[in-house]
Amino acid sequence: MSGSNDLDALLLEAERAVASAGSGQALTEVRARFLGRKGSLSELLRGIGELSPEERGRAGAAANEAKRRIEEWVAARREELERSATDASLADRGI
């Protein structure tokens, strides 16, 4: 892992991508892009084994925190999208 700058940039990109996802399908794709097996976070973690034990611990903790934050953003956005769909459905029915 080449440092916290890479992780910070990844988090910023993930936050923007999650916020701009306009559907559940788009959100699923964004999640996979960042957290999937071939995702951006996984790419950063591939180099963790080359770090010293002290650095490895810090890098692992930072990566886990990044994953947690991205998961939270995805869950919150999914709720927003579902709420919007429900509101639209009720409005269509005149309720």
Q: How far is residue 21's CA from residue 81's CA, in Å, rounded to a whole number?
A: 9
Number of H helices, E strands in the chain: 4, 0
Output 95 or 44, whichever has higher pLDDT: 44
For 25-39, what is each residue's pLDDT tens digit? 999 999 999 999 999
Confirm if 62 and 5 have CB atoms less than 8 A apart. no
Looking at residue 10, its amino acid is L
Q: What is the pLDDT of residue 87?
A: 65
In this prediction the pTM is 0.83
For 45-78, what is each residue's pLDDT tens digit? 888 888 899 999 999 999 999 999 999 999 999 9
Sorting pLDDT into bands at 50, 70 and 90, what band is 1?
very low
